[in-house]
Structures are given as C-alpha cells and as structure tokens.
Structure 1
Amino acid sequence: MKRIVFLDYVRVFACFLVIVVHASENFYGAPGSTDMVGPQSYLANEADRLWVAIYDGFSRMAVPLFMIVSAYLLVPMKEEQTTWQFYRQRFTRILPPFFIFMILYSTLPMVWGQINGETSLKDLSRIFLNFPTLAGHLWFMYPLISLYLFIPMISPWLNKATAKEERFFIGLFLFSTCMPFLNRWAGEIWGQCFWNEYHMLWYFSGYLGYLVLAHYIRVHLTWNRSTRLITGTVLMIVGAILTIYSFYVQAIPGEILATPVIEIGWAFCTINCVMLTAGTFLMFSCINRSNPPKLITELSKLSYGIYLMHIFWLGLWVTIFKETLELPTVAAIPCIAVSTFVCCFVTTKIISYIPGSKWIIG
C-alpha cells in the first residue's frame, strides 16, 4: 500500500498535541492530582487561565485526529479480508504494547515512590478491566479498540453508501455533538432520564461519526486543493476560538471547579471540536509532497510508542520547568511538551533497534 504522506504529518502533529494537553493539565489540576487533571480543577491565576485555555483548548483535536487517520486508512475493510483477519492484523499490532505499558505503569512508579505496593497490586489485578492509576492517557485505547471491532460491521454499508447517505449520517452525528450544550441549557432531552442514557441520536454519536467523516472525505469529497485549504482554515479558526473560549469563560482563578463543567467544550465529540478537527485535517490534506522528510516518517512510525510512554517523561520536565526553573506558564507548557516529545522519540528510537521491538512500541 502506497504511503499517504500527509497522514504522517497529521499523526506526528496529533501525537505532539496529546503531550501539550497533558503538559497543560499540570497547570489546572486541583491539589493532589497526578500529571493529569482529576475530577476537580484549580487555576492559580489569570496567566494560567489564559495559557491553559489556549494551549490545551487548541490541542483538543489530537484524539479525533488519531481516529480520523485510522479510519482514513482502514475503512472500509478490504473486500478479500475476513473479519477475523482484520482483527488479528490490528490487534496483534496494538494490544501487546498496550498491555506491556499497562504493566509498566502499574509497577515502575513504585521505584520513585509515586505509588505504593498496594496501589500497584490493585492496578495489576484490574489490568483487564481498566487502565492503571497513573496511566489515564490509556483511556484512548478503549474507544480505538471499539472502532476496530466495529469496522467490519460498518464496512459493507460504506462500500455501497452514496455520498448523500453518508452526509445524512454525518448530519445526525453533528447534531448529536450539540447535545452536551443542549443538556446544559435544556436538561434531559430525547428520551434521556436518570434510568436511560440512550437518547434518540445515541447510535449516531461518538467516535463512529469521525469514522464516517473520514471515509466521506477520502471517497466523496471532490474539493480542489484551494477549497480544502480555505474551508479547512475557516473551520479550524472558528473551532479553535470556540473551544478555547468555552474553557476560558468558565475557568475562574482561585476557585475549586468541577472539571467536567469547565471542560464541556473540550469533549472530543462536541460541535466545536469537530470543526477544529475536520478543518485541520482538511488543511493537512493539502500537502502534496511525494516523500516526507525522513524525520517525519520516523516520528510517524514511532508515534504509538511515544504516546504510550510519554507520561513517564512528562513528570520529570514538569518538575524542571514548572517547579525548579519556575518558568511563566506561557513558556513552561511548550517547554515541557517539546522536551517530553524529544525524550520519547529518542527512547522509542533506541528501543526500535531491539529485536522484536514491535511487541513493545508497536
């Protein structure tokens, strides 16, 4: 299969943005939280409020971009491929590294005293149920696995669906992304109540919408490069402004705040985040190079390993730039993110020389 160059750029960009998100979370986590924010948030001052909103808000496209890249490459499933062949191919690539890092996050932090033996044993005992205490970023693997499980089911429909039919699905998906805001303003709607969460648009909501959107862009979108660039830029800018503002307007410094409340516009399946993600993806799709720089290709190939390990490095650089050097927030967040990204790249590159390294870093 010929390499799609612009997807390498998207994958590297999204991987870096994941690290920016987690670097930012160290500046609004309530006392007692780990490297990632918990159920409660606290912003110390106006500078933290502004720069967390900008850096973290803009970076919220990271997860949906990964979803779109996967769908763009894998959907629909090849006609000659069986469901079980597809599952074997995808899961032998992602599951071994996933479980290895689940074990590492459940044990290694004991070495530097971040968790105790009791927490370690609890994490290990729940390894088939959920991610470890200090590996909250691994939540992403579960919806990704879910999409992989569903691709063989939706592929037959996508093979025969018309552009109009896919637009209908995408329209319902976009409508569903407005529901967090409708719930905030109008309460429970379309069948929601305390004993039923499956509202009218449930089956058109969630990351499945990104999957269909990716297929539509690849198969049915016939815009020329100029139209993609202009439309993508507008969508990205509007989506970024809405996403950043949604946090900034609610994140009052000096108060303990409920994280789900101030992050309402940062949920990955909200209309503003879809605009931000789709616009950015369209902009990247304008890259028409036949061969990317070697560094981009290398980073793209190692992005899974970088993602898996980045929390191990993140804490070190938070300590250096935030606590030891006490850099202002505007500088600390990018310094933490860049340093973490570089260290993870070097580490994964070294591991890649080990025979059988694909079982560790993918």
Structure 2
Amino acid sequence: MKRIVFLDYVRVFACFLVMVVHASENFYGAVGSTDMAGPQSFLHNEADRLWVSVYDGFSRMAVPLFMIVSAFLLAPMKEGQTSWQFYRQRCLRILPPFFIFMILYSTLPLLWGQIDSETSMTDLSRILLNFPSQAGHFWFMYPLISLYLFIPIISPWLSKATAKEERFFIGLFLLSTCMPYFNRWFGELWGQCFWNEYHMLWYFSGYLGYLVMAHYIRVHLTWDRSKRFVIGTILMIIGAAWTIYSFYIQAIPGEVLSTPVIEIGWAFCTINCVLLTAGTFLMFSCINLSKAPRLVTELSKLSYGMYLMHIFWLGLWVTVFKHNLELPTVSAIPCIAVSTFISCFVTAKIISLLPGSKWIIG
C-alpha cells in the first residue's frame, strides 16, 4: 500500500510528543519514585508550573493523534475483508512486540534495582490482566486494541453513512467531551449516580469519536488546503491555550495536589484536547509532498518500537539533565525528550536490522 506522506509526519510528531509528556511528568509527578505521574503531584516552583503546563499541555494531543492515524488508515475495513482477517492482521502487527516488552519491563528493571524480585513476579503473573508497574505508558495499548476490535462493527455504518449523519455523531461526541467539566461544575447528570456511570452520551464518547472524525476528514471534508490550514491553526491555538491554562491555573507550587484534579483538561477526550488534536491533524493534512524524506519514513516505521521502549531510556536522561546537570526546567524537559527520542530511534534501527525484528518492534 502506498504511504500517505502526511501521516508519516503525524506519527513522528506524535511519537516525540509522547516523550515530551513523560519527560514533563518528572517535574510534577515526583511525589513517589517513579518516572511517571502518580495519583498525587507536587510542583517545586513557578518555573516548573509554567513549563510543565506549556510542554506537557501542548503535547497532550499525542495519544489522540495516534488514534486518528490508525482510524484514518483502517476504518472502514477493506471491501471483502472479514472481521477475522482484520483481527488477525492487527494482532500479528501489535501483540507480539507488546507482550515481549511487557516481559522486558517486568524483568530488566531488576538489573538496576528499580524493582525487586517480588514486584517482578507479580508483574509477570499479571501480564494477561494489565500492564507492568514500570510500564504505565502501556495503558494506551488497551484503548487502541479496543478501537481495533470495534472497527469491523462500525465499518458497515461508516461505508454507508452520509456526511450529515457522521456530523451528528461527531456533534454528540463533542458534547460528551464536555462531561468532565459538567461533572465538576454540576455534579452527576444525565443518568449518572453511584450505581450507574453510563450517562446518556456514554456510547458516543471515548476514542470512538476520534475514529469517526478521522473517517469524516478523509471522506467527507471538502475544504481546500488553505482553508484546512487556517481553520486547523485556529483550532490548534484555541485547544493549546485552553489545555495549557487548565493545568496552570490549578497547579499551585508547594502544595501536594490530586493529579486527576489538576489534569482535568489533559484527559484525551476533553473538548479542548479534541480541538487541539483536530486542528493539528488538519494542519498536517496540508502536506502534499509525493514522498517524505527517508529519515521521516524511517522514524514513522519505527515509531511503534520507539514508543514501546522509550521509558527504558527516559530514566537515564532524567538522571543526566535533571539531577546531574541540574538544567532549568525550560531546557531540561526538551533535552530529556530529544535525547530519549534519538536513543530510541538508534536502538530501534539496530533491532530492525536483525532477522525477525518485526516480532520485537513491529
């Protein structure tokens, strides 16, 4: 299948933003000893508050961008393809590397004392149930797999749906992305209560909305390149400003804070994150090159493996730039992210030269 050039750029950009997010978490999620944010957060000073808000807030489009790319390529299924053929292709593509790295995250940290043998055995015993304790970033794999499971179910509707019908779905999805704010301001609504979390718009919420949005952009959106870029830029700026400010206004330095509370605007299915993601994707869709530079294509092909392994490298560069060199936050976060990104690319490229590398890095 011929490569869609702008999607390669989106993949590379999203992969780098994931590393920016996790680099930033070391400057507010450090109540515990992990490199990832925990249930409580603590910001040491105003510089941490500002630059975590900016870097991490802007980068929150990373996960939805990956979802949109997958949906753009895969939904609806190819004509004549059965559900089981689709599932088989997707499983062979993502599950072997996923399980290999689950084992690696459950065992390798023993070598440098990050976990003990009891934790390792617990993580290994729970591999079929959830991600290992040192691989919090693997949460993403489960909604991605869920999206893959649902594509054969929604494909018949997508194949026949009109633009108006898809806009109706997207409109309800956008309304559902306001629920975190509605719940904070108004409490339980639309059927929510302590025995029922499934509110009226539950079935229009979540990452499925990004799937339908991706299909709408690919099939029904008729805007020319200039209009896509202008409207995309406006949406991106509004979404970025909203997402950044939502954290900044709540992240008071010197106080132990609830992470879910201060990250309310950083949830991936909030209206501001949708605006940020959709705007950025529209901007990237304006790239009309016939072929991407070789480096971009290589990075795109290796992005899955880079995502899987990046936490292994992240801790090293946090130690170098935050603890040893003690760089200011404004420069430490991008230095950690860039170094992690380069290290992952080099590692994934070396692995890709080995026989059977697709089973390790996809």
TM-score, reference length from structure 2: 1.00
For the pair 1:122 / 2:122, whether they are aligned, the reply is yes
Aligned to 1:279: 279
Q: Aligned with 2:41: secondary structure?
A: strand
1:5/1:292 contact within 8 Å kept: yes
Listed as ranges, the matches of 1:129-278 within 5 Å are: 129-278=129-278
Aligned to 1:317: 317
Aligned to 1:353: 353
Deviations 1:234-288 (A, max 9, x none): 0000000000000000000000000000000000000000000000000000000
Worse overlay, 24-33 or 208-217: 24-33
Read off the aligned partner of 1:76 and give its amino acid letter: P
For 2:125 and 2:194, the matched residues in 1 are separated by: 31
Deviations 1:19-51 (A, max 9, x none): 000000000014224010100000000000000
Q: Aligned with 1:115: secondary structure?
A: coil
Identical aligned residues as a percent: 84
Deviations 1:139-182 (A, max 9, x none): 00000000000000000000000000000000000000000000
Q: Aligned with 1:298: secondary structure?
A: helix
Q: Aligned with 2:146: secondary structure?
A: helix
For 2:91 and 2:301, the matched residues in 1 are separated by: 17
Aligned to 2:78: 78
For 2:334 and 2:128, the matched residues in 1 are separated by: 34
For 1:164 and 1:29, the matched residues in 2 are separated by: 43
Read off the aligned partner of 2:159 and give its amino acid letter: N
2:166/2:216 contact within 8 Å kept: yes
For 1:274 and 1:47, the matched residues in 2 are separated by: 27
Q: Aligned with 1:347: secondary structure?
A: helix
For 1:297 and 1:266, the matched residues in 2 are separated by: 29
1:30/1:256 contact within 8 Å kept: no
Aligned to 1:113: 113
For 2:30 and 2:331, the matched residues in 1 are separated by: 21
2:31/2:38 contact within 8 Å kept: no
1:243/1:273 contact within 8 Å kept: yes
Q: Aligned with 2:60: secondary structure?
A: helix
Listed as ranges, the matches of 1:335-346 within 5 Å are: 335-346=335-346
For 2:323 and 2:343, the matched residues in 1 are separated by: 19
Listed as ranges, the matches of 1:7-22 within 5 Å are: 7-22=7-22
Read off the aligned partner of 1:9 and give its amino acid letter: Y
For 1:34 and 1:81, the matched residues in 2 are separated by: 44
For the pair 1:48 / 2:15, whether they are aligned, the reply is no
For 1:352 and 1:226, the matched residues in 2 are separated by: 38
2:102/2:127 contact within 8 Å kept: yes
- Per the TM alignment, residue 326 of structure 1 is displaced from its structure 2 partner at its CA by 0.2
Read off the aligned partner of 2:178 and give its amino acid letter: C
Q: Aligned with 1:319: secondary structure?
A: helix
For 2:165 and 2:359, the matched residues in 1 are separated by: 40
Read off the aligned partner of 2:142 and give its amino acid letter: Y
2:25/2:37 contact within 8 Å kept: yes
Return structure 1 stretches of 4+ with deviation > 3 angstroms: none
Q: Aligned with 2:272: secondary structure?
A: helix
For 1:113 and 1:215, the matched residues in 2 are separated by: 46
- Per the TM alignment, residue 79 of structure 1 is displaced from its structure 2 partner at its CA by 1.5
Deviations 1:303-327 (A, max 9, x none): 0000000000000000000000000
1:42/1:257 contact within 8 Å kept: yes
1:306/1:345 contact within 8 Å kept: yes
- The number of equivalent residue pairs is 362
Q: Aligned with 1:302: secondary structure?
A: helix
Read off the aligned partner of 2:265 and give its amino acid letter: G
For 2:274 and 2:285, the matched residues in 1 are separated by: 16
1:72/1:215 contact within 8 Å kept: yes
- Per the TM alignment, residue 357 of structure 1 is displaced from its structure 2 partner at its CA by 0.3
For 1:68 and 1:32, the matched residues in 2 are separated by: 33
Q: Aligned with 1:222: secondary structure?
A: coil
Read off the aligned partner of 2:348 and give its amino acid letter: T
Deviations 1:79-138 (A, max 9, x none): 210000000001101000000000000000000000000000000000000000010000
For 2:126 and 2:265, the matched residues in 1 are separated by: 31
